[in-house]
Amino acid sequence: MNVLHMKYAVEIANAGSMNKASEQLYIAQPNLSRAIKELEADLGITIFRRSPKGITITPEGEEFIGYAKKILSEIDEVEYMYKHRFEVKHKFSISVPRACYISDAFANFSKQLLKKDTEVFYHETNSLNAINNILQADYKLAIIRYAEKYDKYFKSMFESKGLKSEKVAEFKYSLIMNKKCPIANKPEINVSDLNDYIEITRADQFVPSLPLSTVKQEEFDKNISRRIFVFERASQFDLLSKNTQTFMWVSLVPDHVLERYDLVNRVCENDRPVYKDVLVYKKDYVLSDLDNAFIEEIKKAIERYKKF
């Protein structure tokens, strides 16, 4: 069955006349009549009755026209969906670690979305998912966080997967805790001071080519006996604000976040590893205007909150 012939039949039914339909379709009447006869032969039914007074639709024809209209409508929807629905001129997509300074930069970046037809995807996740988002889910950018001692592992993986990397920030973790935490006002805080408190942390660390058990052993202080693993950043701050026995290691934190949750940001005097946040994207990808605008906001955020 020819879909074009189906369209002809619906047009004839709507016009109520073969002549009018041929004019509207810009097709000669003999050709239109021939197409309808071929359609009727294919279906084995009579759609229209011809008479000197014109044409009428048979009961079978009425039933067929009803189905034909539904089919043609669905075809139109499919064509529209693939021709127009995904025609987004401006698109930004990034996966990031759960970091306050990045979230703050993203909020400021969102103020620049002044053009129509813009889609933005912002995904807070771990390094493995961030990389897979670029390789498999068509995300354009990622910010990957890892301890400096794992630099060779990550650089090797970036190279093997055709990814380009650029350092965004380098820092040592500091502490945040409730203002009422018993050690919040100590002149100096050492790692040993944390042993009696509850650490809030993430359980999704990832280092390529290393077992997760090895990474956890190196990342987690064995002297901390109570630990809560939380994967959602807002819940981490809710815990810190309501439980004075908790603490968390963090990167750069804006003052307004500390004030919102009644927290303090303290330096731990013991030697801590250096961490890197690295921007990653495919080697053949050219950064867009939106990408560059976001990167600029990241730089501004680092300057604002790098006191620790």
pLDDT digits (tens, 9 = 90+) for 67-124: 999 898 888 878 776 766 555 568 899 999 999 999 999 999 999 888 778 889 999 9
The last residue of one of the domains, among 30, 50, 85, is 85
User: Could you tell me the pLDDT band of residue 137, with boundaries at 50, 70 and 90?
Assistant: confident
Query: Of 28, 62, 85, at which residue does a domain stop?
Result: 85
Q: Does residue 265 sit in helix, strand or coil?
A: strand
- Asked if 56 and 48 touch (Cβ cutoff 8 Å), the reply is yes
Inter-residue contact 205 to 215 (CB < 8 Å): yes
pLDDT value at 167 more than 80: yes
CATH number at residue 133: 3.40.190.290
Between helices 3-15 and 59-80, what is the axis angle to 10°?
Answer: 120
pLDDT at 54: 82
Same domain, 150 and 72: no
130 and 236 both lie in a single domain: yes
Any idea what DSSP says for residue 83?
A: I
251-261 pLDDT, tens digit each = 989 999 999 99
Q: What pLDDT shows up at residue 88? A: 54
Instruction: Assess contact for 45 and 104: CB atoms under 8 A.
Output: no
Q: Is the domain of 21 the same as that of 166?
A: no
Judge if pTM exceeds 0.75: no
> What is the structure's pLDDT at 202?
81
Query: Is 112 in contact with 293 (CB distance < 8 Å)?
Result: yes
The reply to whether 122 and 266 lie within a common domain is yes
Rounded to whole angstroms, the Cα distance separating 282 from 301 reads 25
181 vs 175: CA distance, rounded Å: 12
pLDDT at 193 over 90: yes
- The pLDDT assigned to 87 comes to 55
Question: To the nearest whole percent, how much of the chain has pLDDT over 90?
Answer: 58
pLDDT at 209 over 70: no
CA distance 203 to 216: 8
Predicted pLDDT of residue 216 = 64
Q: Say yes or no: 234 and 172 in one domain.
A: yes
Domain count, the chain: 2
Structural domain of residue 287, as residue ranges?
90-305
Residues 136 and 214 placed together within one structural domain of the fold: yes
Average pLDDT over residues 265-292: 91
Sheet holding 163-172, edge to edge: 118-124, 90-96, 141-147, 274-282, 163-172
Report whether 35 contacts 29 (CB < 8 A).
no
**Range in 44-58, 95-109, 171-185 the model is least confident about:** 44-58
Q: Which residue has the higher pLDDT, 288 or 83?
A: 288
Instruction: Note the pLDDT tens digit of each residue in 11-50.
Output: 989 888 888 888 888 889 889 889 999 988 999 999 999 8
Matching residue, tokens 């995300």: 139
How many angstroms separate the Cα of 134 from the Cα of each of 64, 87, 126, 165, 195? Answer: 48, 20, 13, 13, 39
Same domain as 219, residue 179: yes
Among 25-34, 235-244, 293-302, name the one with the lowest average pLDDT. Answer: 25-34
Region for residue 234 given its phi and psi (left: phi exceeds 0; alpha: psi -120 to 50; beta: otherwise): alpha
Q: What are phi and psi of 177, to 5 degrees?
A: -160, 165
Which residue, 85, 107, 125, sits at the end of a domain? 85
User: Which residues are CB-contacts of 213 (< 8 A; sequence separation ≥ 6)?
Assistant: none
Q: What is the pLDDT of residue 83?
A: 67
Q: Of 128, 162, 123, 159, which is closest to residue 145 (Cα–Cα)? A: 128
Residue 226 has pLDDT above 80, yes or no: yes
CATH number at residue 70: 1.10.10.10
The predicted structure's pLDDT at residue 217:
64
Q: Identify the pLDDT of residue 307.
A: 60
Q: Does the pLDDT of residue 308 top 70, yes or no? A: no
Give just the sign of the alpha carbon dihedral 282, 284, 290, 293.
Answer: positive
pLDDT of residue 52: 81
